[in-house]
Amino acid sequence: MTACEGRQRTMYPGQHSGSRWACPGGNIRGESPGRRQRARPWQRPPGAPGALPAPEAARAWAWAQTAPSSSGAGAGPRSAPGQGAAAPRCPGRRLFQAGPGASSSPDTPIHRQKQWFQETFTYLFAISNSAEASEAGIHLVSGWQIFKSPPKEELPFWSDIVLGFRPMSEAELQKFPQHRFGQAFTTLKCDCPPYLLWLEKRLKATGTQMYTRKVADLWELHREYDIVVNCTGLGAHQLVGDKQLFPVRGQVLKVHAPWVTQFIRDGDGLTYIYPGIHRVTLGGTREKGSWSLSPDAGTTRDIFDRCCSLEPSLQGAQDIEVKVGLRPSRQSVRVQREVLSQGGIKLPVVHNYGHGAGGFSVHRGTAKEAAVLVEECISALQASSSRAKL
């Protein structure tokens, strides 16, 4: 249900023991084409720290790429790598939660989703409890998920991971007269723009270089890099020809309503209210297969009316802004190792995309899994190099 969507499309070259890595994408700041740098080979800047050991370096850029690769309703279009189609941008705050029956990737095994969720929650909770919480845009938030009748799973797989999960009391349910059952808990919220800047700052501290490059085919990188990590979100539809990848259009509203401090989510449908630091997000829609980034006035009114039915005080909300974006979705998240080969030359690729609307909730976990696959690629390259010397 949640995601920090793909505003960035960045390439992160790193270096270790002669190996070169590439992460196809765009710019972490979503910069305009006029500000982009010309692509160039990776070089360590003067005074930069030495290369991280392979696992740490791999985790650094794999993790940073995963969160923005996942998409929800975004702030507007920009070109994705290797294609002319518009890509979504980060809309702002995202709630750390995966609602029952709302899995973005239904064919991904529950135990795998839970592991990703647990690893991500644990990591972000530590940030929320640190001096860097404000800079990173990670904070705790409490609220309710409500149902018109008890769901089949009254204890979703994430219930023992979020904080204080419990059934709503009768007194709490009186706030929602059309609903008979609810769940109360405390979870995490992310203000995406500062979170991406915080990630960028941490990566630069390791000596990581970031630059923009348009990639039409992963194979064109084989002369410059030994390993490629593909975190291009919807761009993978054309970049690697993944026909299992499809957009899920989302439209949300951003409003000024500082009195709204608790989240509300209708577990039966598409309606949600997520308070942020400066704005409140009202949603939403889930339109499978739609590539349109044009706001729909009728949908805007419908979203506003639905949210006001759950929180009548929103009638006084001001500065309503409409956001539209595309979530890169698959039946199963693709975290997978592949080897491209042409004319006896091989290029190891690690894919990490297709998180749908749940990317923020699992981004750290999937990045760690992708990093393990990168380590396997490095080991294979080193073994191959050793055999060649014999």
DSSP-assigned letters across all residues of 276-330: -SS-EEEE---EET----S--HHHHHHHHHHHHHH-GGGGG-EEEEEEEEEEEEE
Q: What is the pLDDT of residue 250?
A: 97
pTM for the model stands at 0.76
pLDDT band at 243 (very low <50, low <70, confident <90, very high): very high
Q: What is the pLDDT of residue 278?
A: 87
Q: Which helix (H) or strand (E) holds 207?
A: none
Q: What is the pLDDT of residue 162?
A: 97
Q: What is the pLDDT of residue 99?
A: 41
Which burial class, exposed, middle or buried, applies to 72 when counting CB atoms under 10 A from its CB (0-12, 13-18, 19+)? buried
Q: What is the pLDDT of residue 194?
A: 93
DSSP-assigned letters across all residues of 222-254: TTT-SEEEE--GGGHHHHS--TT-EEEEEEEEE
CA dist 60 and 27 (Å) reads 16
End-to-end CA distance of the chain: give it in Å, rounded: 52
- Helix count (H) and strand count (E) of the chain? 8, 16
pLDDT band at 384 (very low <50, low <70, confident <90, very high): confident
Evaluate if residue 85 carries a pLDDT over 90.
no
Is 352:370 a contact under the CB 8 Å cutoff? yes
pLDDT 10s digits, 166-216: 999 999 999 999 999 999 999 999 988 899 999 999 999 999 988 888 999
pLDDT 10s digits, 327-375: 999 999 999 999 999 999 999 999 999 999 889 999 999 999 999 999 9
Q: Spell out the domain ranges in the chain.
A: 14-389
14-389, which class in CATH? alpha beta
The radius of gyration of the chain's CA atoms, rounded to the nearest angstrom, is: 21
Instruction: Calculate mean pLDDT across residues 14-22.
Output: 40
Give the C-alpha distances (Å, rounded to integers) separating 55 from 10, 108, 198, 245: 20, 25, 21, 28
pLDDT 10s digits, 329-339: 999 999 999 99
Instruction: Calculate mean pLDDT across residues 156-162.
Output: 96
Evaluate if residue 51 carries a pLDDT over 90.
no
Evaluate if residue 12 carries a pLDDT over 70.
no
- Residue 106 DSSP label: T
Which burial class, exposed, middle or buried, applies to 278 when counting CB atoms under 10 A from its CB (0-12, 13-18, 19+)? exposed
Q: What is the pLDDT of residue 95?
A: 57
Evaluate if residue 79 carries a pLDDT over 90.
no
